[in-house]
Amino acid sequence: MTFFPLAAFNDNYIWITLDTAKKSIWAVDPGDAKVVLDYCHSQKVTLEGILVTHHHKDHTGGIQELVQHFECPVYGPESLAPHLVSKPIRQGEEILVHGTAFLVLETPGHTLDHLCYFAEPSTSKQLLLCGDTLFRGGCGRLFEGSPAQMLSSMMKLRSLPPETLVYGTHEYTLSNYRFALAIDPNNSALIEADKTATALRDNETPTLPSTIALEQQTNPFMRFDREEVVAGAAALLNEPMAMDTINSFAQIRRAKDGF
Ligand SMILES: [Zn+2]
């Protein structure tokens, strides 16, 4: 099973997976209907289903028009049912996408309703569709949740198999790495990842998917328990270093918000 991105707005990716035999696709967070409709028309495929991670408009704006066209099911948080989501789902439930089971993980923090979807396909690597919770080199802003909630969401994702491919919604990698390098400048894996990502962007190529292993090594929001990362964030904020995990995570997030 593979996902590929359709670019939308300035820096969104609508992730698509195609079943060539059935000539049908699933779309993740279709913020813009036209992008998906154009793809379906040009490739002569139908939309079989939609997965939604959270309520923000750039993830949901295209749903109504797409459903009118294809009458497909929409899986997502209960907060969007029944208006946008026809199949509300919760932590621990599974959805079949082209025959592969995706497990629902509740990951509040960016929003309170945020869901991620994790799969272990029999024929390819594990996959995580993570919306605005986890980005390559960063995490979503805390618009609704607390640092403790986002920390627990990050720990949930950090414990997934290291080889898991990570599909976030935004191409924020280079700006995330600028911040990460400012607080964690001696991290050789981060320096290397920044070089690779810069080369990809120079060729206008997406830097996604990432992997859980790469995020464990480079993402400051997965490295909240590394003393050098918290010290770097404290120095940037000109504050004393936080002494417990939740406040360390919050300090890194605050440093990023003001960067
Ligand atoms: Zn969002």
pLDDT, residue 70, reads: 98
41 is in an annotated binding site: no
58 is in an annotated binding site: yes
pLDDT bin (cut points 50, 70, 90) of residue 250 is: very high
pLDDT, residue 225, reads: 96
State how beta strands 165-168 and 127-131 pair.
parallel
When pLDDT is averaged across residues 174-188 and rounded to a whole number, the result is: 98
pLDDT, residue 207, reads: 98
pLDDT, residue 171, reads: 98
When pLDDT is averaged across residues 206-226 and rounded to a whole number, the result is: 98
Read off the pLDDT of residues 115-171 as tens digits, 9 standing for 90 and up.
999 999 998 999 999 999 999 999 999 999 999 999 999 999 999 999 999 999 999
- Choose, from 110, 113, 114, 194, the residue flagged as catalytic: 110
- Decide: residue 153, CB within 10 A, 0-12 exposed, 13-18 middle, 19+ buried: buried
pLDDT, residue 114, reads: 98
pLDDT, residue 110, reads: 98
Catalytic-residue membership of 41: no
- Decide: residue 117, CB within 10 A, 0-12 exposed, 13-18 middle, 19+ buried: buried
State how beta strands 115-119 and 100-106 pair.
antiparallel
pLDDT bin (cut points 50, 70, 90) of residue 210 is: very high
For the chain, what is the mean pLDDT?
A: 98
pLDDT bin (cut points 50, 70, 90) of residue 17 is: very high
Question: What is the CB neighbour count within 10 angstroms for residue 26?
Answer: 24
pLDDT bin (cut points 50, 70, 90) of residue 23 is: very high
- For ligand 1, the distance from its centroid to the CA atom of residue 192, given in whole angstroms, is 28
- Choose, from 59, 113, 184, 194, the residue flagged as catalytic: 59
Strands (E), the chain: 4-8, 12-19, 24-28, 46-51, 74-76, 87-88, 94-97, 100-106, 115-119, 127-131, 134-135, 138-139, 165-168, 210-211
pLDDT, residue 112, reads: 98
In order of their start, the domains of the chain are 4-257 (3.60.15.10)
pLDDT, residue 45, reads: 98
pLDDT, residue 124, reads: 93
pLDDT, residue 215, reads: 98
Contacts of 139 by beta carbon, 8 Å cutoff, 6+ apart: 109, 110, 133, 150, 154, 219, 221, 253
pLDDT, residue 58, reads: 98
pLDDT, residue 50, reads: 98
pLDDT, residue 202, reads: 98
- For ligand 1, the distance from its centroid to the CA atom of residue 142, given in whole angstroms, is 10
Question: Directed axis angle between helix 173-183 and helix 245-257, to 10°?
Answer: 120
Cα gap 247→86, rounded to integer Å = 38
Secondary structure percentages of the chain, helix, strand, coil, to 5: 35, 25, 40
Catalytic-residue membership of 114: no
Catalytic-residue membership of 98: no
**Structural tokens at position 25:** 């696709």
- Choose, from 29, 58, 184, 194, the residue flagged as catalytic: 58
pLDDT, residue 245, reads: 97
pLDDT, residue 227, reads: 97
pLDDT, residue 47, reads: 98
